Amino acid sequence: MHTSASLALNESWDPDVRDDMEMMLNKIVPEGLQYRHSCEGPDDMPAHVKACFLGSSLTIPITDGKLSLGTWQGVWLCEHRDHAGSRKLVITLSGCPRDSARSPLSPVSPIASTSS
């Protein structure tokens, strides 16, 4: 919900990955350029650009009530300001909970009753 922060999926085991990502983003989008939007400080406009590059939403499948991520993957809240305030997230779940009574193998399932 913030224009200077982003969300990303990336490796969450080795903290060097976070440091390297920050280094690369700072090389790609440096502070100190002649940004026209500068009233909120020298880190604000670069933060907007970095947030645009990484994005503000993720789609992650959920299996058996758990995020279906790779072995090393984690969700990053990427803060691109040097001294930002608090951040809020909105999480929307799409789909429906698994109902074993409505499984295609259940005798009460509409699917099971159509087979011969």
* pLDDT score recorded for residue 11: 96
Q: Give every residue of the chain whose pLDDT is below 50, as ranges.
A: none
Domains and CATH numbers, the chain: 5-79 (2.60.120.460)
**pLDDT score at 100:** 65
In the numeric block, which tokens belong to residue 35? 């940004």
The CA distance from 106 to 98, in Å, is 13
Taking only the tens place, the pLDDT of each residue in 48-58 is 999 999 999 99
Distances (CA, A) of 45 to 28, 30, 74: 13, 10, 27
Output the average pLDDT for the chain. 87
Q: What is the pTM of this model?
A: 0.77
